[in-house]
Structure 1
Amino acid sequence: MNFFERMKQLTGVSLNNVQKQAVRFHEGPLLLLASPGSGKTTTLNMKIGYLMLVKKVPAKRILAITFSKASARDMEERFEQFFGRLTNERVAFSTIHSFAYKVVREYFYKHQIDYTLIEGNVSENLHKKVILRNLFSEQVKQAPTEDEMDELVTYISFVKNRMVATDEALKKVNCSIGSAAKIFRAYEDFKKQNAKHVLLDFDDMLTYCLDILQRDAEIRTKYQHLYEYVLTDESQDNSVVQHEIVTILAAPQNNLCVVADDDQSIFMWRGADVTKLLSFQQTYPNGKVLTMAQNYRSTPEIVDTANTFIKRNRNRYDKKMFTENPKGEPITIHNMRRYDLQLNYVVQEIQKSPNPKEVVVLYRNNASAIRLIDLLEKKDIPFYMKDVDVKFFKHWIVEDILNFMRLSYNDRRADILEKIYTKMNAYIKKAQMQVLLRDGEDTSCFDRLQKNTHAPYQEQALRKAKKNIQKMNTLPPDEAIQLIRRDLGYDKTLKNRAEHLGFNEENLLSIVSQLEHIAEGLPTLEAFAKRLKELEEIMKTSRFNKNENVATLSTMHSSKGLEFDTVYMLDLVDGVIPSKDDVKAYKAGDVEKMEEAVRLFYVGMTRARKHLELLTYNQKDEETTRPSAFLEDVKKILLGEEVGELQLSDVVEKSENKRPKEIITNKKFQKKVVRELPKDAIQQQQDLQRGLKVLHQVYDLGYIKKVTDDEIEIVFDHYGSKKFMVDYCLTNGMLRFAEGISQT
C-alpha cells in the first residue's frame, strides 16, 4: 500500500494529482500556488508526513514556518490529527518572528550582549510607543494624536520590513507625518545608544536575524545544516526581510517549499512584497511551480466570478481556479438608497439565520463596524468580532465631543476648555487660556475671558459660545452633536486640520457622523457617554462568543483563512474599496495599491461557501456615494459581459441602480433568489397612514409620524425617530400592522 492509499485509509484524506505531485517533490525549490479553498494546509502537512514516513527525514531536520501563531497552531493540530498515531516525532512549526528571536538570542548570548524587549507585555516606561511618543514630541513640538501614533508605528514597521535604508528612500515612503524619517532615525539611535544593552522591538527580531545570518558564518552554517527542509506557508504575506531570511536558511541545498497565493497578498502596508513570489523562477531557475487551482470550498457561481474578477490584475501568475462542487445560489448585489438601510438589512438577515455561526459580515475598515454593533446590541443579537479594535472610542474626536458635553455641565472648568478651545469658533488665544488657568476664579470661563478680549469680534463670539455651550445641556445628544458641528464650528475645525496636517477629511467627518447616529434616541448627554462605554465593552467581550452560535464580524484583511456558508460584504462604495489613496496612486501610474485592493475584494468573495451578498448604497449621511468600481465589474461578469483590465473612469449610475435592491444573476446559472415576505406584511402604500402603529422587522414597535410618496418617518419606542424609503419597506416586507392607532 503506497503512502497516499494509506493516508486515505487512516485519515480519509484523498489528494488530487497536483497535490500528490507537491507532496512527492522533495529535492530542490518548489513554489506551490494555492488558490482559495484548495486544501493547502492539508497538502503541506501531508508533504511533511511524506518526508518523515517515506523519505525517513528526522523531524528535527524539518522547519515549517507560518505567518502567525494561529496558523502555526492550526498546522500543528492538523499534523497531530493525521500523524499523531504514526510517529512520536514532532516537527517545529514556528512563526518567522519566533525563529528569528531564537537566532538573535543565541547571537546576543554568544557576544555577551544584554537586551530588553520594548514591545508586547513589557514595562510601560520602556515601551516602544512611549519612546516614540517622546521622540515625536521632541521633533514636532507637540504631543501626537492616536492617529499619528498609529501611522508612525506603521511607517516604522514598513520601512524595516521593506529594508528601506537611505534617507532619500525613507522620505519617499508615504506618510502624512513630515518628520517621520527623522523620528525613525532618532528611534533607531535611541535603541542602540548602549552597545552592550540593546532595546529590541518585534521588527528588530527580523532585521537583527537577517544581519546575523549574513555576517556570522558559524550561526548561519549551524542552521543551514540543522534544517534540511524548509517549508513556508502563507508566503505571500512575507515581507522583504522575511523572504531574505528564508532564502538564506534554505541554502545551499535549496530544499525549499514555498506555499503561497499571489492573488491573496493583502498586507503591503505591513511590508509584504508579492514581487518576491513573482520572481521565484528568476531566483531559482531550476525551481518548480505547481498550481493547486481546484477549489473545494465554494459553489461554481462564486468560484467562476471570483476567478474572472481577479484576472484584471496584471502582476500575477496566470491560473484558473475551478471547482467540481454542485451548483448553488447566484451572487446577490444589493443597491440600497441609504447607508442605514444596508445595516438594517444585514441585521435582519442575521436575525433570520437558522445557523448564525455560518454567517460573516465583512468590511474594509474597523470603523464600519461601530454602527452595525450598535444596532445588533439594540436588537439583543450576540456576535463574535475577530481582532477587536476599540481605537474608535479612544479617538481624539470622540474625546473632543465628550469634552464639549462635559463643559456644558460646568462651564467654569478651565481645564476642560483648555482641551477644546482651539477647536471652536470663540477665537481664544493661548495667552488668554493661560491666564484663565491661573486666575482660580469660580465663574463661567466665557465671562472671565470677556474681561480681556483681544478684539471686538471676540466678545461677540464668546457670548455666542457661552450660549451654545449652555444650550447643549438641554438638548438630546444627537442634537447636541449637531450644535457642536454647526454652531461651534467643529466641522470647520476638522476640515482645516485635515488640510494642514494631511488627515483624511472624509474619515474625520465620518467619525462625528457615527457618534451622531449612536446618539439617536438617547435621552441625555450622560446616556450618550454611557452608551459609548457600553459599546466598547460589548466589542471587547464579544471574543467570548467565539465558539458560540453567533455571526462573525471581521475586516476583509482579518478574514483571510476563514470560510463561512454565508458572506455579506458591506460598504462597497468608491472611496472605501478602492480607497481614494488607491485611486490617486493608480492615476499617478502606481498600480501596486490598486492591485492589492482588487486582491482584498477577491479575498472577501472567496470566504463564501454557498451564499455571497454584496452591498452598496447611494447616500451616507449627507454625502452622495457611488457603487465601487469593483462592484460594477462584478455586475458585468454576472451578466456575461466582457470585462477587461480595471477601468477607473467614473462609475455611471444606471437607471436600474435607482431601485433600492437589485438581484444580479449569472447568465450561466439562470437562477434567482426569491425571498418570502411575512404573511401579515404591509405591501400597499395606501395602508401607511399617519399615526398607525407598526412593527418593524429591526426596530420593533413604533408609530408613523409622517409619510410621503418616497419616504416614511417612524417614531420607535426604544430607538427614537427613523426614516425609511417607502418602496424598500413595502418590497421587503419590513413593516407589519400593530394593534391600535397612536394618540401622539
Structure 2
Amino acid sequence: MDATRIINTLNDAQRLAVSAPAQAMLVLAGAGSGKTRVLVHRIAWHIKVNQIPPQNILAVTFTNKAAQEMRIRVEDLLAISTRSMWIGTFHGLAHRLLRQHSKQAKLPDNFQVMDSDDQLRLIKRLLKNLQIDDTKWPPKQVLWFINAQKEEGIRARHMANNGDFFYKQMLLIYKAYEDLCERSGLVDFAELLLRAHELLRDNEDLLQFYRKRFQQVLVDEFQDTNTIQYAWLRLLTEGNNNLFVVGDDDQSIYGWRGAKIENIFSFQKHYPEHQVIKLEQNYRSTTNILQAANAVIANNDNRMGKELWSDAGEGERLSLYTAFNEQDEAYFVVEKIRLWIKDGGLRSDIAILYRSNAQSRQFEERLMTTGVPYRVYGGLRFFERMEIKNALAYLRLSTNPHDDASFERIVNTPTRGIGLKTLDDMRMLARDLQLSLWQAAQHMLAQKQLSTRAAQALQGFMQLIMQLATDTQGKTLDETVKHVVETSGLIELYKKEKQDKGEARVENLEELVNAAKLFDYDSSALESEVPLSELDMFLTHAALEAGGTQADASEDCVQLMTLHSAKGLEFKLVFMVGMEDGLFPSLQSVDDMSRLQEERRLCYVGITRAMLQLYLTHAESRRLYGKDHYPEASRFLKEIPTQLIQEIRMRANVSRPYAPTSSNSSSHTTAQDTFRMGQAIRHEKFGEGVVLQTEGEGEQERVQINFRQVGIKWLMLAYAKLEKI
C-alpha cells in the first residue's frame, strides 16, 4: 500500500494529522470527527511510509473493546498481523510489561492480578485481622482511598502523618494492605500502573531499551488519563518527542474517577515542539444539533477551542418539552417513541439519557406498560439494583420475619459483626429442626448457644426488625418506606461509599420512597378473597418489575442510560430528560465552578450523541429526596440559541367526554361530562385534587389527577366516580 492509498479517503484535517512528520502531536478530535480512523491510519502511515516495524509501535486506549477494534482495523487496512504490536489498554500493557520483567519489578513470577471484587474481599479480611470496625471504616471507602493514592503515584511510605485521625488510620490500613499484597504476590488494577511506572523509573537500562524500542507512542482518549498514566507515557517518550495523543478537552467528563483534563494543557508544556491539529468536521449530527452543542460548550473557560460543523444539512430544530411532572415527562417521551416506531423507525436507534440512575424508573414503568422493549445500558433496572433490593428486604422481613431470603440478604447489611460461623450454625439448626432462620436465631439466643458478642449483634438486628414493624403501623406506604430506609442504616452506609456511586445509591433509595408515594393501590381490583395490604401489593409489584427480563443486547430495543455511559455512542433519536438545575447540572456542582464546567461538558457529550432528532425535556415539578420540588429549567437550556429550538406547547385543553355505561340497560345512555386541565374534583377515597391530563378512549379512558393528600394518580374514568368542585 502506498502513501496515497492510506490518506485518500480522509478529509483535509485528518490527512494532515496522519501524514505529519514524526513529532509530538495533539489531535483535538471533536465528537464524531473520526478519531479512531485517524489513529489507525497514522499507524498504517508509520508502518508503510516511515518504515517503522509494527513491533516498534505502542498504541494505548482505555477499553479492551476499543483496543480490539483498533487491531482489527489496522489488520484490515494493511493486510498484516498485529500480533507483534503493543496495542492494548493501559492496564493490559502494564501487565504485559510486568510479566516480562517481574524480577526487576520485585514481583514473583506467578503474581496474581485481583479484580475490584477480589480487592474488596482482601480489604475486608485485612480490617478483621487488624480488629478495625468496618462499620466505622467501610471497606469500599478504604478501597477508594488506596486506589486514589496509587493513581497519584503515592505509596504509604511517601505519606506523612499529619495528625488527622482519619488520615492516620487510613495510612495504617494502606501500609498493612501493601505488606499483605507483597507477601501474597497480589497486584490490584491501580498497582499495575504504579508498578509499571516504578519499573521504568528505577531501572535506567530497561527504560532506555523501551524508549529505543517504541519509536512511536499513540494514545486514544487522552483527556481521560490520570496522573500515573500520563507519568508513564512521559517516561517512555521523554527526549524522543514521539508522543501522538488524540483527545477532546470538551469531552473530559470523568474527573470524579481521577481523569485529569489538565494533562491536555500540561502536554503542551512538556512537549514544546508539539503540533496541534483540530478535527472539527462531524460525521454524525445535523448542523442544528452541532450549533447547539457549540453554543453550550462555549460557556466554559480555559478551552482549547473548536467549532464542530457538518455537511449533513441543517436538519430539524431541537424540541423542548416542559412537563407537568416526572410522570408526564415519561408519558411524553414514550408517546414520541411509539410514533417513531409506528413510522417504521427502529427502537435500537433511540436513547433516553439522564443524569441520575434514579430517573430511569419512570421511563421503565411507562415503557413496560406500553409494551415497548427496552434495555438499561451498562446497568440494572431500578428494582434490580442492590440498594433497592436491600431496602425491599427490610420491608419484607418487617412484614414477614420468616422470609429466609430477606433475612440472609440484610442480616449483615450494614455490617453488624454477625460472623460466618454464627450464620452457618443458624442455617444448620434451621435445616435440622425445619425452622425459619428467624426461628433458629430465636432458639440459639434462648439456649445461649452464642458468644456474648455474637448474641448481642444478632439480638440487635432482630430488635431492629421488630421495631420497624411496630413503628410503621398506621403509616402510609411512602411513610413506611421512608422510615425503613432511614432507620435501617442503609442511607448512612451508602453515604460512606465513594462519592458518585454512594450519591447514586442514596438517590435511588429516595426514588424508592417516591415510587411508594406514587404507587397506584386499588384493593377492589384484587381477585383474592383476602386482599393484600398496600405494602404487600407494593412489594409484589417490585418483585414482578425486577423479575421481568430486559431485552437482549441483540434485540431491537430502546436504550436507557446515564449521560456518562453514552459517551462514544450515537443514536438517530435522543431524549435528554430531567434538564433542570439541581438535577442537571447536579445540585453538588451548581456552586463549584470546576464541577459545573464538567457538567457542561457532560451536556455537550449528550447533545452530540444525537444524529437526526434531539428532544430536551424538563418538569415544572419533580419529587426528589422525598420532597416536591419546583425547579428552574437547566441553565444549559438557556445557553442554546432560541432559533435552534422549537418549543412543544402543552395542550391548552385536554377535555374528553366522560361516558359511564350501564350493563343493565339495553339502550346505553351517555352522560356527557367534560373534565378540563386544571378542573378541581373530589374522589370518595383520595379526596380533592386537580386534573392534569387524560388519555385513551371509551372504557380505556384514564385521567391523571394530582390529589392534595396522596399525590398524583391515574384513574379509569368509567369507574372513578369523580365529582366536580
After TM superposition, the score normalised by the length of structure 2 is 0.75
> Matched residues in 1 for 2:247 and 2:149: separation?
23
Secondary structure of 1:347's aligned partner: helix
Q: 2:644 aligns with which of 666, 671, 682?
A: 666
Shift of 1:230: 0.6
Asked if 1:689 is matched to 2:665, the reply is no
Query: Kindly tell me: are residues 141 and 189 of structure 1, through their superposed partners in 2, closer, same or farther at Cα, counting changes over 3 Å?
Result: closer
Identity of aligned residues (%): 22
Query: Kindly tell me: are residues 407 and 281 of structure 1, through their superposed partners in 2, closer, same or farther at Cα, counting changes over 3 Å?
Result: closer
* Aligned counterparts, 1:21-420, within 5 A: 21-84=16-79, 91-110=85-104, 113-114=108-109, 116-117=111-112, 119-120=114-115, 127-135=118-126, 141-143=133-135, 150-164=140-154, 179=166, 182-183=169-170, 185-193=172-180, 195=182, 197-353=184-340, 354-389=345-380, 393=384, 395-396=386-387, 398-410=389-401
Shift of 1:411: 8.6
Query: Kindly tell me: are residues 320 and 517 of structure 1, through their superposed partners in 2, closer, same or farther at Cα, counting changes over 3 Å?
Result: same
Secondary structure of 2:600's aligned partner: helix
On the 8 A contact 2:7/2:15 being kept in 1, the answer is: no
Query: Kindly tell me: are residues 229 and 497 of structure 1, through their superposed partners in 2, closer, same or farther at Cα, counting changes over 3 Å?
Result: closer
On the 8 A contact 1:265/1:274 being kept in 2, the answer is: yes
> Matched residues in 1 for 2:168 and 2:365: separation?
39
On the 8 A contact 2:477/2:517 being kept in 1, the answer is: no
Q: Which residue of 2 aligns with 1:635?
A: 638
Shift of 1:99: 0.5
> Matched residues in 2 for 1:722 and 1:44: separation?
65
Q: Which residue of 1 aligns with 2:418?
A: none
Shift of 1:349: 2.3
Shift of 1:490: 4.6
> Matched residues in 1 for 2:672 and 2:157: separation?
64
* Aligned counterparts, 1:488-637, within 5 A: 490=486, 507=507, 510-516=510-516, 520-521=520-521, 524=532, 528-529=538-539, 531-536=541-546, 538=548, 542=550, 545-584=552-591, 586=592, 591-621=593-623, 623-625=627-629, 627=631, 631-637=634-640
> Matched residues in 1 for 2:127 and 2:611: separation?
47
Secondary structure of 2:513's aligned partner: helix
Query: Kindly tell me: are residues 83 and 635 of structure 1, through their superposed partners in 2, closer, same or farther at Cα, counting changes over 3 Å?
Result: same
Any gaps of 5 or more consecutive residues in structure 1? 9-13, 423-433, 442-451, 453-458, 473-478, 640-664, 694-702
Residues 457-480 of structure 1: CA deviation (Å, up to 9, x unaligned): xx9x999976666778xxxxxx54
Shift of 1:557: 1.1
> Matched residues in 1 for 2:355 and 2:700: separation?
42
Shift of 1:80: 3.3
Shift of 1:399: 2.3
Q: Which residue of 1 aligns with 2:434?
A: none
Residues 207-262 of structure 1: CA deviation (Å, up to 9, x unaligned): 11111110012322232222111100111111111111111122332211100001
Q: Which residue of 2 aligns with 1:735?
A: 696
On the 8 A contact 1:577/1:628 being kept in 2, the answer is: no
> Matched residues in 2 for 1:383 and 1:43: separation?
34
**Residue 221 of structure 2 aligns to which amino acid in structure 1?**
E
Shift of 1:20: 1.1
**Residue 512 of structure 1 aligns to which amino acid in structure 2?**
L
Secondary structure of 1:322's aligned partner: coil
> Matched residues in 1 for 2:160 and 2:581: separation?
30
Secondary structure of 1:384's aligned partner: strand
Residues 61-108 of structure 1: CA deviation (Å, up to 9, x unaligned): 111111111111222233234333x78887432111100111122232
On the 8 A contact 2:18/2:42 being kept in 1, the answer is: yes
Shift of 1:360: 0.8
**Residue 156 of structure 1 aligns to which amino acid in structure 2?**
I
Query: Kindly tell me: are residues 686 and 301 of structure 1, through their superposed partners in 2, closer, same or farther at Cα, counting changes over 3 Å?
Result: closer
Q: Which residue of 1 aligns with 2:714?
A: none
**387-396 vs 232-241, which deviates more?**
387-396
Q: Which residue of 2 aligns with 1:710?
A: 678
Q: 1:483 aligns with which of 480, 483, 491?
A: 480
Query: Kindly tell me: are residues 469 and 232 of structure 1, through their superposed partners in 2, closer, same or farther at Cα, counting changes over 3 Å?
Result: same
> Matched residues in 1 for 2:285 and 2:147: separation?
35
Shift of 1:737: 3.5
> Matched residues in 1 for 2:263 and 2:403: separation?
61
Query: Kindly tell me: are residues 381 and 224 of structure 1, through their superposed partners in 2, closer, same or farther at Cα, counting changes over 3 Å?
Result: same
Any gaps of 5 or more consecutive residues in structure 2? 415-440, 449-458, 527-531, 663-670, 702-716, 721-725
**Aligned length in residues:** 636
> Matched residues in 2 for 1:114 and 1:421: separation?
38
> Matched residues in 1 for 2:479 and 2:253: separation?
38
On the 8 A contact 1:37/1:297 being kept in 2, the answer is: yes
> Matched residues in 2 for 1:114 and 1:723: separation?
74
> Matched residues in 2 for 1:293 and 1:37: separation?
9
Shift of 1:186: 1.3
**381-390 vs 237-246, which deviates more?**
381-390
**Residue 742 of structure 1 aligns to which amino acid in structure 2?**
A
Q: Which residue of 1 aligns with 2:708?
A: none
Residues 422-464 of structure 1: CA deviation (Å, up to 9, x unaligned): 9xxxxxxxxxxx99972379xxxxxxxxxx9xxxxxx9x9999
> Matched residues in 2 for 1:94 and 1:530: separation?
46
> Matched residues in 2 for 1:307 and 1:417: separation?
48
> Matched residues in 2 for 1:417 and 1:295: separation?
49
> Matched residues in 2 for 1:16 and 1:549: separation?
33
Secondary structure of 2:334's aligned partner: helix
Shift of 1:179: 3.9
On the 8 A contact 2:656/2:676 being kept in 1, the answer is: no
Query: Kindly tell me: are residues 554 and 16 of structure 1, through their superposed partners in 2, closer, same or farther at Cα, counting changes over 3 Å?
Result: same
**Residue 158 of structure 1 aligns to which amino acid in structure 2?**
A
Q: Which residue of 2 aligns with 1:455?
A: none
> Matched residues in 1 for 2:567 and 2:622: separation?
28
**Residue 148 of structure 2 aligns to which amino acid in structure 1?**
F
Shift of 1:150: 4.8
CA RMSD in angstroms comes to 4.7
**Residue 395 of structure 2 aligns to which amino acid in structure 1?**
F
